[in-house]
């Protein structure tokens, strides 16, 4: 038991036509998606016991738009997370696709190795988008209380909402619960843009 760190969800993040465009862009790029990796020491490795999903690191024309909209929201993000505003060092982005049987076990997003102390992920931003009506079950983002702050908080499981943006501190433990969507097309998977704000 411990304390659940602040998180916040922004709904209707992109103009609907952009959300649709991003879904079409992602679907079109199916063959460019690769097995997601996890950090092991200073290396990135595929570990299907730990994380199962596909990732494509090129957001194409959507990258600039999404980063600019997140930048506009920064004052509100700092405020909702109760984080002292800092100067942004970088944004990192990728598209992730979760199909049947995909998941991501409990982890934190900060690099725990000390390979690059100059750069640190501070805020995790997850933009959810998918075909409606939703064709998958599960895939909730479970946020887990941190044990180093005393408290009696319970974990929360957040159901993905199309066209919403979830923000939380990158050191908050979290996991993606297993997705169920047997026999659905790639276009009907659970898609996200993962964005990390570096300080
Ligand atoms: O897909 C999600 O809801 C979160 C993904 C995540 O935790 C990550 O990519 O580090
Ligand atoms: Fe994560």
Query: Which residues does a 6 A CB cutoff place in the pocket of ligand 1?
Result: 96, 104, 109, 126, 141, 174, 176, 192, 194
Cα separation, 96 vs 57, in Å, equals 8
* Protein residue with its CA nearest to atom 3 in ligand 1: 141
Identify the CA nearest to 14 among candidates 62, 57, 71. Answer: 62
Q: Is residue 41 part of a domain?
A: yes
Whether the ω angle into residue 133 lies within 30 degrees of 0, i.e. cis, is yes
Q: Is residue 147 part of a domain?
A: yes
Q: Is residue 123 part of a domain?
A: yes
Q: What's the pLDDT score for residue 119?
A: 73
Q: Is residue 175 part of a domain?
A: yes
* Protein residue with its CA nearest to atom 7 in ligand 1: 175
Q: Is residue 111 part of a domain?
A: yes
- DSSP reduced 3-state for 147: coil
Quick check: 27 and 178 in contact, CB under 8 A?
no
pLDDT digits (tens, 9 = 90+) for 111-152: 755 556 567 899 999 999 999 999 999 999 999 999 999 999
Q: Is residue 1 part of a domain?
A: no
Q: Which atom of ligand 1 approaches the CA of 190 most closely?
A: 1
Model confidence at 1, in pLDDT bands (50, 70, 90)? confident
Identify the CA nearest to 12 among candidates 132, 126, 194, 164. Answer: 164
Q: How many domains does the chain have?
A: 1
What single string gives the DSSP state of each residue in 20-49? HHHHHHHHHTGGG-EE--EEETTEEE--TT
Distance 126 CA to ligand 1 centre (A): 7
Q: What's the pLDDT score for residue 118?
A: 61
Task: Determine the residue of 109, 167, 174 to mutate for testing ligand 1's pocket, defined as the one with the most ligand atoms within 8 A of the Cβ atom.
Answer: 174
Task: Please list the alpha-helical segments (H only) found in the chain.
Answer: 16-28, 62-81
**What mean pLDDT comes out for the span 157-168?**
98
Q: Is residue 3 part of a domain?
A: no
Distance 107 CA to ligand 1 centre (A): 9
Task: Determine the residue of 33, 96, 103, 172 to mutate for testing ligand 1's pocket, defined as the one with the most ligand atoms within 8 A of the Cβ atom.
Answer: 96
pLDDT of 67 higher than 90: yes
Q: What's the pLDDT score for residue 145?
A: 98
CATH code, domain carrying 33: 2.60.120.620
Cα separation, 22 vs 60, in Å, equals 9
190: which 2 tokens? 């659970």
Domain span holding position 85: 8-198
pLDDT digits (tens, 9 = 90+) for 27-61: 999 999 999 988 887 788 888 888 999 999 999 99
Q: Which residue has the tokens 């900060």?
A: 110
End-to-end CA distance of the chain: 29
Q: Is residue 2 part of a domain?
A: no
Identify the CA nearest to 119 among candidates 91, 157, 153, 154. Answer: 91
Cα separation, 163 vs 134, in Å, equals 12
Distance 131 CA to ligand 2 centre (A): 22
Q: What's the pLDDT score for residue 17?
A: 98
């Amino acid at each position: 038991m411990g304390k659940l760190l602040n998180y916040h969800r922004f709904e209707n993040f992109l103009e609907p036509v952009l959300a649709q465009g991003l879904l079409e862009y992602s679907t079109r790029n199916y063959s460019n998606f690769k097995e997601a990796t996890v950090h092991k020491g200073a290396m990135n490795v595929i570990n299907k016991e730990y994380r199962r999903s596909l990732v494509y690191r090129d957001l194409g024309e959507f990258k600039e738009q999404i980063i600019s909209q997140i930048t506009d929201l920064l004052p509100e993000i700092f405020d909702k997370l109760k984080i002292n505003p800092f100067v942004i060092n970088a944004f990192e982005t990728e598209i992730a696709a979760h199909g049947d049987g995909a998941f991501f076990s409990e982890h934190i997003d900060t690099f725990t190795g000390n390979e690059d102390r100059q750069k640190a992920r501070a805020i995790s931003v997850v933009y959810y988008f998918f075909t409606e009506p939703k064709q998958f079950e599960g895939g909730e983002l479970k946020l887990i209380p941190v044990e180093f702050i005393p408290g009696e908080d319970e974990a929360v499981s957040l159901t993905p909402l199309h066209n919403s943006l979830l923000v939380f501190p990158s050191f908050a433990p979290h996991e993606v619960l297993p997705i169920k969507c047997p026999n659905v097309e790639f276009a009907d998977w659970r898609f996200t843009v993962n964005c990390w704000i570096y300080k």
